[in-house]
Structure 1
Amino acid sequence: MSAVDAIHARPVTSDNFSRYGRAYDLTDDTDGKVVWTVGDGWNDGFTKTPLIDGGGHLGITRGGQAPWDCRAMERHPLTEEAIFCLAAPVILAVAPASDADQPHRDEIEAFVIAPGQAVVMDRNVWHDACRGVSGSAPYYWMAVCGLGESPWVPVSGGPIKVSAAAGTGSTK
């Protein structure tokens, strides 16, 4: 049995997510990876480079609620995958990209993605479906689909409980 039986998600930042890919914040007007524009009564931002490499498909997943037992994960060897939420924050559980046949529970980390943020996972990063921080929450994803099977495999070492850290509500 692992020394850690549960992990708590922390708010995602470019720094703490860099092991898995890129994180963007389209809400604070300061992310250097975003182009910011202002008009009469509005402002916006868009990523300086395309969100993922390749012409991605847009999808939506309706995730359950945290906490949950992370029992299985998938990875995509031929595409990056972007995750961004609709209106409520979600938790993404990930494990490092590897040549192993399964992710290991001791390598799993979790991040809260708030509305206005996006993450892009590198190829082969293990991940579970996201869950809402404080209730069921749908979220968008973008990846190149039709590249073969994307098998879900059990987490080596058994499941691990994933939850939001105290005070991780609907804010970043």
Structure 2
Amino acid sequence: MTKRLVVGRDDISAWGTALSFKEESESVVVTNGDGWNDYKSAKKISDTAVNLAMTQVDVLPKQIEKMERHDHTQETLCPTDHPIVLGVCAKEFEIPVAAECVLLEIPCGTSLVMDKGTWHSPCFGIRKATQYYWIATSDPRFPSEWVPLAGGGLETHAETESNHNVF
């Protein structure tokens, strides 16, 4: 079975940085008002102008056959109302290698800022079909190329590792 880590709980530094949207987190700046709390990333999530997009996704289990990467931008993934999971592979590989892949679970209230060049699959819902936001520079000069995984596909499973939502 493929190793599964939880963003915001486990060490994910090989692929990116966690943003944990809660008061005690060092990754965000918190502002409070009458009936609202604002959680803003403490550091910039991109060094260029970015696009905001929402992707609708199926529920697990899914077989991951291909991955993409972006050498020109960081990509931030933000679940909406249900946790999501994706496959990642280190940027050092010329092509993604199934045996070197890890599944990253992103609980609600947490985001993943992927390093430039990190191989990644689309995200999928853990408990049900859902949607997630992604923030990155989408530039037609750098089209996404989906590359087959060396060594076969990556199995995913619906069991959750986090068993909690942040909020």
| Match of residue 65, structure 1, among 48, 59, 66 | 59
Partner of 2:41: 47
Cα gap change, 1:167 to 1:120, in 2 (>3 Å):
closer
Partner of 1:98: 92
Corresponding letter in the other structure for 1:11: V
1:119 has 2:128 as partner = no
Cα-to-partner distance string for 1:41-70 (whole Å, 9 max, x where unaligned): 322211122222211100111111111111
Which has the higher mean CA deviation after the structures are superposed, 32-41 or 122-131? 32-41
Give the alignment's TM-score, normalised by structure 2: 0.90
Unaligned runs of 5+ in 2: none
Helix, strand or coil for the counterpart of 2:73?
coil
| Match of residue 155, structure 1, among 140, 149, 156 | 149
| Distance in 2 between residues matched to 1:137 and 1:7, nearest whole Å | 22
| Distance in 1 between residues matched to 2:99 and 2:8, nearest whole Å | 21
Aligned length: 165
Helix, strand or coil for the counterpart of 1:87?
coil
Cα RMSD (Å): 1.8
Hey, which bits of structure 1, 4+ residues long, moved more than 3 A? 164-170
Deviation at 1:133?
0.4
Residue identity (%): 30
Deviation at 1:167?
5.7
Helix, strand or coil for the counterpart of 2:77?
strand
Unaligned runs of 5+ in 1: 1-5
Corresponding letter in the other structure for 2:49: G
1:75 has 2:59 as partner = no
Helix, strand or coil for the counterpart of 1:163?
coil
Deviation at 1:77?
0.8
Cα gap change, 1:14 to 1:143, in 2 (>3 Å):
farther
Corresponding letter in the other structure for 2:61: P
Partner of 1:33: 27
Deviation at 1:29?
0.9
| Distance in 2 between residues matched to 1:18 and 1:142, nearest whole Å | 19
| Match of residue 130, structure 1, among 123, 131, 134 | 123
Contact 2:65-2:152 within 8 A present in 1 as well? yes
Contact 1:89-1:169 within 8 A present in 2 as well? no
Contact 2:96-2:119 within 8 A present in 1 as well? yes
Deviation at 1:15?
4.7
Cα-to-partner distance string for 1:109-155 (whole Å, 9 max, x where unaligned): 11111221111111110000000001111100011011422100100
Helix, strand or coil for the counterpart of 1:7?
coil
Corresponding letter in the other structure for 2:165: T
Contact 2:4-2:161 within 8 A present in 1 as well? no
| Distance in 1 between residues matched to 2:55 and 2:163, nearest whole Å | 20
Deviation at 1:72?
0.4
